[in-house]
Amino acid sequence: MGETVNTKKSRRKATQVKPVAKSFNCPSCGATLNITAVGRSITVVCKSCRTVLDATDPNFSILEKAHKSHKVSPAIPIGSRGTVGGKMWECIGFMQRGDSYGYRWHEYLLFNPYHGYRWLFEFDGHWTWFKRSYELPDLTSNEIEYKDQSYKLFTKGSAEVFYVVGEFYWRVKVGDKSKVKDFISPPYTVSSEKVENEEVWTFGQYLEPERIKKAFKLDGKYFPEPVGIAPNQPSPHKAEAKKALKLLFFAACFMITVHIFRSASSMKKEVFHNTWKRSFPTSRVERAELKKAFNTRPFELTKKKSNVKLKGSANVNNSWIWIDALLVNEQTGKGIPMPMEISYYHGYSGGESWREGSHNSSRVIQNIPPGRYYLSIKTQVGGKTIRDINYSVSLIQDVPVLSNLIISLILIGIFPIFKFFRRHSYEVQRWSTSDYSPYSEE
Amino acid sequence: MIKINCPSCGAEIPFRSSTSVFAVCSFCKSTVIRQDLDLELIGKMADLPEDISPIQLLMSGRFDKKTFFVSGRIIVKWEDGYWNEWYLNFDDGSTGWLAEAQGDLAINKPVASGLTMADKTALQLGSKHSLDGRNFYVTDVKDMTCVGSEGELPFRGIEGRQSLNVDLSDRKGGFASIEFNEEDGVSAYVGRYVEFKDLKPKSFRVFSGWGRP
């Protein structure tokens, strides 16, 4: 059966080993059957007639006649091998199990003579790789603590064998029942299976369906397409949301730094300032006259493509003034409109005093090329109180603008907020098939 | 190592471990009991059931920074299958067992338990029990029968030897086992689960078509 391995290379070459598997004919239908886990498998279910045979008996006596259940085709054929996690595994057993609600899932028993057994669990096209757990979890109602990580209860119920084929290290037959519990912390699952008094814990990890397909070189024939979200499927939004948050943090830091730097280095140079008196018209002629535009003295904008801030103030009192300013380039004659309204009202009504508006206003225009400019100003006035209004206008070149920063921060914040929303809805969907969803309302 | 000739066929039976009192002649399968340099013939071992274990007699390995070699094995049967108990001899003179069941491996070493045969029924599934200063939980209680042995052993590994075996686990991968045997009394062992590859095994059994571990 086997030979000694010696560490010396010369000896290694001489090692001769015979195949391990054992072949025999099914005593019921005559089909040729294999046993791979010789000495460990105690039940073999004939792949062609599904008679249950005693693998511990040299004559492979019949334990149970073939059951006439529906035929189920395993996605991974019995006897096929694949490499998962750097180790080769042979699929030696297959079961379809289910619960009383009509859910059906598939379990594949995998074997390697050096590394023992593993399980592949498939439900709705989602795959989980299970290994027996050597650490006992610490159970507290609907949660377990397993290797310093907490897992939440996802399902609890009974499982029944509906279809079975291949070799197993326990006595298996259709109709076998056990109690199962799944606890999740994606991509991991910790499961308990209880038959009578014996409870076995297994530890599972979600595997991408494509990995199974590649590992066992499966064609698409019986390979199920994944449907919905598996209990332990890792959320694609979890990492993305985290990444987005990180990105947001760095972007915000960068923007704030740039803002501080620019504020410190901006010129904040007042290039024009003047005060005028605007009287209320007393006649139509005067009104037409007062509405006319006038030009200010020219001034120089020196810095290349900077912003300019127009500040206006007026001693309005239950009245308003409309300052229709136009920033005109002397050379080109082109004007940039910078209108503003200043209004202030106050009073006393319903036992409370109130006020509205302000004596000041300002606006900023970006990217003004350097050159000689002047302001062309038109004004209109109105209000409850008719009194002359003193107003002043100043123009400041290169000012720090906080609103730019705030708008930018809001804009870059939208993406992570969206990601977090996606992540949350993914979790809600994941838990929608569980009776223990933390998202469901009591 | 002492070599004593088999009282049945005359072939040399090596005793590599001073703790061994029982051996199976590798040539004629005679079972012998050793008393000093005398061997008492007690019977013949039937052919052992085939199995696919990568462990074999004289395999060596490392565990807890000590080198061991496998000097014997008993094959045990329970209601639903078999498992192997490989007898280990460490280079510091201590001994232990490598339990191999359903592909799972655990190494444990003898400890004092303070238990008596009267405690046989006290260890129920799920119950907590302290061994060697550690808390364990009973995971398995089985009646077992020896169906055969090979190599050298510290007790009579004869067919039909019956015991009650209690397995225990903890939250950190620890493994313990308590054996209740009418003849040998209570033996307790404490250790942990291991992976075959982590034992850095040498002279193990190689399976064609399966590569190396």
DSSP string, A272-296: EEEEEEEPPPSSHHHHHHHHS-EE-
Chain A positions touching B140 (Cβ under 8 A) are 198
Rg (CA), chain B: 17
First to last CA, chain B: 31
Interface contact B193-A20, CB threshold 8 A: no
Within 8 A by CB and 6+ apart from A413, the residues are A248
DSSP letter string, A356-368 = EE-SEEEEEEEEE
Cβ contacts of B88 within 8 Å, gap of 6 or more? B63, B68, B69, B70, B71, B95, B96, B97, B98, B107
Cβ contact B195–A115 (<8 Å): yes
Beta carbons of B170 and A2 less than 8 Å apart: no
Residue ranges, comma separated, of all CATH 2.20.28 domains in chain B are 2-44
Q: Tell me the nearest-neighbour CA distance from B125 into chain A, angstroms.
A: 7
CA-CA distance, A170 to B140, in Å (whole number)? 15
User: What was the pLDDT predicted at B26?
Assistant: 93
Report the C-alpha gap between B140 and A198 in whole angstroms: 7
Instruction: Tell me which residues of chain B have a pLDDT lower than 70.
Output: none
Distance CA A114, CA B210 (A): 9
Q: What CATH number was assigned to the domain covering residues B2-44?
A: 2.20.28
Using DSSP's 3-state secondary structure scheme, residue A124 falls into coil
Residue A441's pLDDT is what? Answer: 63
A311: tokens are 């500040």
Burial category of A393 from C-beta neighbours within 10 Å (exposed 0-12, middle 13-18, buried 19 and up): buried
Q: Which residues contact B111 (CB under 8 A, 6 or more apart)?
A: B131, B132, B188, B189, B190
Q: Can you tell me the ipTM of this complex?
A: 0.93
Give the A:B interface size as CB pairs under 8 Å: 117
* CB contact (8 A) between residue B197 and residue A138: no
Single pTM value for the model: 0.77
State the virtual CA torsion across B177, B157, B154, B178 in degrees, nearest 10: 10
Q: Is A149 exposed, middle or buried (0-12, 13-18, 19+ CB in 10 A)?
A: exposed
Q: Which residue has the tokens 């334990």?
A: A63
The pLDDT averaged over each successive group of 10 residues in chain A (442 residues) is 39 48 91 92 92 91 82 92 94 95 94 96 96 93 92 95 94 91 96 87 96 91 90 87 86 90 84 90 78 91 87 93 94 92 91 91 90 93 84 91 83 84 90 88 56
What's the pLDDT score for residue A407?
87
Residue B205's identity, in one-letter code, is R
Flag whether residue A7 sits within 8 Å of chain B, measured between CB atoms. Answer: yes
Chain A closest-CA separation from residue B179 CA (Å): 19
Tell me the shortest Cα–Cα distance from A167 to chain B, in angstroms: 13
Nearest to A42 among B50, B81, B125 (CB): B81
> Contacts of residue B137 in chain A, CB cutoff 8 Å?
136
Q: How far A61 CA sits from the closest chain B CA (Å)?
A: 15
- E strand intervals along A303-349: 306-314, 319-329, 335-349
Q: Hey, is the C-beta of A2 within 8 angstroms of any chain B C-beta? A: yes
> Hey, are the CB atoms on A134 and B51 less than 8 Å from each other?
no
- The identity of residue B170, as a single letter, is D
The pLDDT tens digits for B43-69 are 999 888 888 999 999 999 999 999 999
The whole-angstrom separation of Cα B48 and Cα B147 is 8
| E-state strands within A80-197 | 81-84, 87-98, 104-112, 116-123, 126-132, 138-140, 143-146, 149-168, 177-185, 188-195
